[in-house]
C-alpha cells in the first residue's frame, strides 16, 4: 500500500480544514447520506463497498496536497456509489453515462451566465 | 422534461466528475428516491451545524461531572445521545480515556469511519492513505508529525473504527483548570485531541 514514510497530508495549513474541495464532492457525499437515510442501503453495506474499492484500485497518491487526496478519496467514493446503485438495480450504468453526457453537452451549448437545462433530446446528438 | 439547475460555474465546460454526480442526482430525483433540496440541507448540516464543538462539550462534561464520566465510560452511545448528539448511521460509540499510562488514538484502516455526530466530518489527513496505513504500524512516528511526543512510559493504543463502532478519545484534563466551568473547559478541547493526534490545550496556550 503506502510507503512507510509517506507524509500525512493536510495536518496543518490551508489544506487542513475544508472537507470538500469541489461542489461535486459535497454532492456525492450528500447523495450517499440521503440514500442511506431513505433505506437504500445500510451503512455497514456502504462502508464495506467503499473500503473494498479503496483497497483495490487506488494507487498511492503521487502528489501530497490535500486537494489531491480529497479528489482521489471522493473519486473512489463516487465510483463506489455508482457501483452500489447499479448492483441494487436503481440506476443503469449506461443511463448514468448518457445523463452525464447530456449535462456536459447542455453545458457546452449554454451561453455563459445562463442556467444549464437538462434536456434529453440533446442525447440524440451522441457520437456514433 | 427540462428542469432548472442553477449551478455556479464559470465556463461552458462541465468536468467529468461534476457531470457524473449531476447525472446520478438527475436520475435518482426522477425516480423520486432523492430530493435535491434535502441534499442541500445535508451539506449545510455537515458543514456548519455538526462539528468538533459537539465532542468538546461531551469531553468537558466528562471532566467536570463524575457521574457523566462514568456513564460515558459505561455506555457512550447513550451518554452522548442524551446530550443531543445522535449518529445518523446507527453506529455505536465508545469513549476511550487517556491517562499517563495510556494514550489512545483513532484510525479507520478500512475507509474513513469517524464519529460524525460528535466531530463532524473527518479532516483530509484522517481519510488519507498514509494516515490509515501508518497509524497502526508506527503510531509514535505519526504522533510526532502532529507535534505530539509522549513519554516512553506512556503506552499508545490505536483503535480501528468500523461502520458499527466509532471511538471518541477523552484527552487528559490539563492541569491548572481546577474549578473551571464546562464551557471554559470545552475551549481547550481540540478536534485532534479527540482523535488522539493531539492533546488538550494547556490554559493560556494559543488556539
Residue A66 or B3, more confident? A66
For residues B58 and B73, is the Cβ–Cβ distance under 8 A? no
Grid coordinates standing for A78?
Answer: 463516487
DSSP-assigned letter for residue B103: E
Q: Which of B49, B90, B127 to mutate to test the interface with A (most CBs of A within 10 A)?
A: B127
pLDDT (0 to 100) of residue B7: 47
- What count of other Cβ atoms lies within 10 Å of the Cβ of residue B84? 9
Residue indicated by cell numbers 495536518: A11
B187/B100 Cα distance (integer angstroms): 22
B51-195: CATH architecture? Alpha-Beta Complex (3.90)
Cα–Cα distances in angstroms (integers) from residue B104 to residues A11, B65, B140, B156, in the given order: 18, 21, 11, 6
A85/A88 Cα distance (integer angstroms): 5
DSSP-assigned letter for residue A122: G
Q: Is A126 near chain B, with CB under 8 Å? A: no
Residue indicated by cell numbers 501508518: B134
Work out the burial of residue A36: count CB atoms within 10 Å of its CB; fewer than 13 is exposed, 13-18 middle, 19 or more buried. middle
A126: pLDDT strictly greater than 80: no
Residues of A in contact with B40 (CB under 8 A): 30
pLDDT (0 to 100) of residue A17: 63
pLDDT digits (tens, 9 = 90+) for B126-156: 988 889 889 999 999 999 999 999 999 999 9
Enumerate the domain spans of chain B.
16-48, 51-195
What mean pLDDT is predicted for residues B178-205?
94
Q: How far is B184 from chain A (nearest CA, A)?
A: 23
Amino acid at each position: 500500500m503506502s510507503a512507510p514514510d509517506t507524509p500525512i497530508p493536510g495536518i496543518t495549513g490551508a489544506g487542513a480544514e475544508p472537507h470538500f474541495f469541489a461542489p461535486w464532492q459535497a454532492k456525492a457525499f450528500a447523495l450517499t447520506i440521503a440514500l442511506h437515510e431513505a433505506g437504500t442501503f445500510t451503512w455497514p453495506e456502504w462502508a464495506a463497498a467503499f473500503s473494498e474499492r479503496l483497497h483495490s484500485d487506488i494507487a498511492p497518491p503521487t502528489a501530497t496536497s490535500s486537494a489531491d487526496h480529497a479528489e482521489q478519496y471522493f473519486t473512489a467514493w463516487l465510483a463506489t456509489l455508482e457501483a452500489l446503485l447499479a448492483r441494487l438495480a436503481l440506476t443503469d450504468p449506461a443511463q448514468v453515462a448518457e445523463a452525464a453526457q447530456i449535462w456536459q453537452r447542455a453545458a457546452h451549448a449554454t451561453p455563459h451566465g445562463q442556467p444549464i437545462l437538462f434536456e434529453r433530446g440533446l442525447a440524440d446528438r451522441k457520437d456514433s | 422534461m427540462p428542469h432548472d439547475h442553477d449551478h455556479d460555474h464559470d465556463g461552458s465546460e462541465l468536468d467529468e466528475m461534476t457531470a457524473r454526480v449531476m447525472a446520478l442526482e438527475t436520475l435518482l430525483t426522477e425516480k423520486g428516491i432523492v430530493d435535491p433540496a434535502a441534499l442541500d440541507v445535508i451539506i449545510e448540516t455537515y458543514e456548519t451545524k455538526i462539528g468538533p464543538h459537539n465532542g468538546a462539550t461531551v469531553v468537558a462534561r466528562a471532566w467536570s461531572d463524575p457521574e457523566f464520566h462514568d456513564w460515558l465510560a459505561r455506555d457512550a452511545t447513550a451518554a452522548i445521545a442524551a446530550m443531543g448528539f445522535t449518529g445518523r448511521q446507527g453506529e455505536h460509540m465508545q469513549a476511550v480515556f487517556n491517562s499517563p499510562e495510556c494514550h489512545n488514538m483513532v484510525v479507520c484502516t478500512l475507509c474513513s469511519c469517524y464519529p460524525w455526530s460528535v466531530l463532524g466530518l473527518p479532516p483530509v489527513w484522517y481519510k488519507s492513505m498514509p494516515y490509515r496505513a501508518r497509524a497502526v504500524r508506527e503510531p509514535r512516528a505519526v504522533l510526532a508529525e502532529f507535534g505530539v511526543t509522549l513519554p516512553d512510559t506512556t503506552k499508545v493504543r490505536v483503535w480501528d473504527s468500523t461502520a458499527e463502532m466509532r471511538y471518541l478519545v477523552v484527552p487528559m484534563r490539563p492541569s491548572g483548570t481546577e474549578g473551571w466551568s464546562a464551557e471554559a473547559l470545552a475551549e481547550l478541547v481540540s478536534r485532534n485531541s479527540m482523535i488522539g493526534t493531539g492533546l488538550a490545550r494547556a490554559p493560556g496556550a494559543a488556539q
